């Protein structure tokens, strides 16, 4: 059994990255956008298919495109270690939840209008911020299910909206 402190705590990507930069041989888990913007060194990794890949927008999108989004109710798929020769093994998505029966129909309508706008216009903005938009085929599938939300009488099993992908470098 270990005794004494294990690791060093820090707040946010910046705090963690700063501590790591001062500790020889250390490893940090930060979001891809932060790694790019701060010119951090990142590794290549071997994915589920045994291929060595680099963390890139294309590799994150490959992981999302190769995931079986129907395998978990509400699209709650863990994107880590998805199949595919080009898939980055440490990918995650941002999810937004809408309850089955929204208590405020007007707020639900406004939220759904925002999601529609984000899908139509947000991809380029995400890329400009070094985030990765969902692949078009995943967006299309998700938009079909979003159309089934009818304020109070909707068939929504806590519908997840996949807006952007996050990779870790």
Question: Cα 9–11–14 angle (5° rounding)?
Answer: 115
pLDDT value at residue 54:
94
The size of the chain, in residues, is 169
Residue of higher predicted confidence among 12 and 152: 12
Q: Is the pLDDT of residue 148 over 60?
A: no
pLDDT digits (tens, 9 = 90+) for 110-122: 888 888 888 888 8
């Amino acid at each position: 059994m270990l005794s004494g402190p294990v690791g060093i705590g820090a707040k946010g990507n910046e705090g963690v990255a700063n501590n790591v930069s001062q500790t020889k041989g250390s490893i940090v888990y930060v979001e891809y956008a932060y790694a790019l913007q701060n010119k951090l060194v990142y590794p290549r990794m071997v994915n589920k298919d045994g291929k060595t890949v680099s963390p890139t927008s294309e590799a994150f999108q490959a992981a999302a495109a190769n995931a079986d989004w129907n395998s978990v109710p509400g699209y709650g798929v863990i994107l880590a270690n998805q199949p595919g020769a080009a898939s980055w093994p440490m990918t995650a998505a941002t999810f937004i939840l809408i309850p089955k029966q929204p208590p405020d129909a007007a707020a639900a309508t406004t939220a759904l209008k925002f999601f529609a706008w984000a899908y139509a216009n947000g991809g380029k903005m995400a890329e400009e911020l070094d985030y990765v938009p969902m692949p078009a085929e995943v967006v299309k599938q998700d938009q079909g299910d979003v159309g089934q939300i009818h304020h109070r009488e909707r068939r929504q099993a806590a519908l997840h909206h996949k807006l952007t992908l996050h990779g870790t470098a």
